Chains A and B, each alone.
Chain A
């Protein structure tokens, strides 16, 4: 190292270098990370701090701010609509993501079986819903699940003798429709992640289990699921955070009436309505802070539940293998 640097100096001497090589590297280092941190300061850090500050102010977006202490938080926490929107978010979150993860694991497991051919075709088609935008999905499902008696969803449930439902204006209709569109768009995404996980499991484990007489179901629960755990933890974490931030799907699905009805209002919609429809930036910021706290709590609980105590051992085993 010393030698190369000395050599470099020798060679560079005629160009009159004032800075040593390591000083230059240091400068370059700071210079090259600077754009990111400048943007982070403006777009990330400053808004986050300002939001927390705003949560304690009364402000309509114009004019003077007025310090109001905890008042914004009490206003939000005493508002039944806030609790309704939190309830909606949680229900849609559970209905939209839990089945998605289970179906994702099953599909990935099937795609990973040696006997199955055309896996690339299935992978591409099952993944395809993910490339559509949330708005597009919400509009298409908005037509599937319209309030018309002839809506496709009503036609299908008619086969089972169920009466037509006003999907957009009923308590459970709206939630089911929105959960289904979340499910449809994300199931392939999770399948791809699980498939990557399954492919990292050494095949000889299954061979050994087969020799020991384990059947397919036993192999699934005793080899596949435990070794897939890091991937399950990851997808549960991402789905939880995503579900709590739900906004586009219900807003576009309900269209003009999105902010006037409460069947599918989510926490972010509540926040948006406070800020941009009611010009109450203080309570909206308080809601944003509450949302952050809710996300941290629920994401930690879910991650803790899915990771469990055995996790570390398995992860270590996986790393040793790979």
Chain B
């Protein structure tokens, strides 16, 4: 949009700003409020009007969280689970995406269309057999069991195939072959460096998906030592007489890392949404 088209501030845009500011405030309020509650004693919850300014119990509430759940263990488990599954999905998707984009082999199109079909199967359909399978492997209550289902990521292959065919020129591959490069060497030394931006996009999609997924982790992980953050947080809500300050302290500290990562890479996050869904 050329600069000349930008109009000067006009009174007409005031209501539009009002709506946008209201939307921003409503979006941010729960974040602010979970911080307020994380710093307040539980009794503050019964005050009318409700507390809106931070209190002094930040450390104490978090101490209570640590008494309830192995918070740092859960965070470490989540971190491991997210990192390893993301790396494996990147590897699997980029290899397959490379093959679909650049190699000719019989049955290629049939295989590619069958990936489309896998995207239609809702994850709940496989829940019970997956649970059975994982229990047969002895992986119940382990991160292996929790992680294995995320390795199936058809979207990743779509993104990678798209990216490889757009940004890796055939001539480059031909030239590398003339120089005697093996196909794997081409993948490692030529394709990988070029598709780094696609790694960032897909990496963020997979990482946030695994970070926040609940149904499967809740099904497989049963003992506190193997809890991920989501399962651990959910377990805070089990008791009848719960301490709201403690619960929201847990939520707050579990959300802070993600907020920091998001604010650092917000452009990437937002573009990953449009690239991941608008294809």
Residue numbers of A with Cβ under 8 A of B are: 4, 7-8, 11-12, 15, 21-22, 24-26, 28-33, 35-37, 39-40, 42-48, 50-51, 54, 61, 103, 106-107, 110-111, 113-116, 121-144, 146, 148, 150, 152, 155, 184, 188-189, 192-193, 196-197, 203, 231, 234, 238, 241, 244-245, 247-248, 251-252, 255-256, 268, 271-272, 275-276, 281, 284-285, 288-289, 291-292, 295
Contacts and interface: CB of A to CB of B under 8 A. Distances in A.
Nearest to A207: B5
Given A36-B95, A275-B131, 16 more contacts: A32-B103, A39-B92, A50-B126, A115-B13, A116-B13, A126-B24, A128-B27, A128-B31, A129-B27, A141-B30, A142-B237, A245-B124, A252-B234, A256-B237, A291-B124, A292-B125
A196 B1 CA distance: 15
Contact of A140 (B45, B234, B251): B251
Contacts of B183: 24-25, 28
B269 interface: yes
Chain B interface residue count: which class?
A: 35 or more
Q: Chain B: interface secondary structure?
A: helix
Contacts of A136: 233, 251, 254-255
Nearest to A22: B104
Contact of A116 (B16, B92, B230, B266): B16
Contact of B123 (A130, A245, A256): A245
A139 B129 CA distance: 30
Contacts of B193: none
A292 B17 contact: no
Contacts of A275: 127-128, 131
B274 interface: yes
Q: Tell me which of B20, B33, B240 has the highest count of chain A C-beta atoms within 10 A of its own C-beta.
A: B20
Interface stretch (B46-54, B56-64, B194-202): B46-54
A32 B5 contact: no
Interface in B120-177: 121-133, 148-149, 151-152, 157, 174, 177
Interface in B83-107: 91-93, 95-96, 98-100, 103-106
B55 interface: no
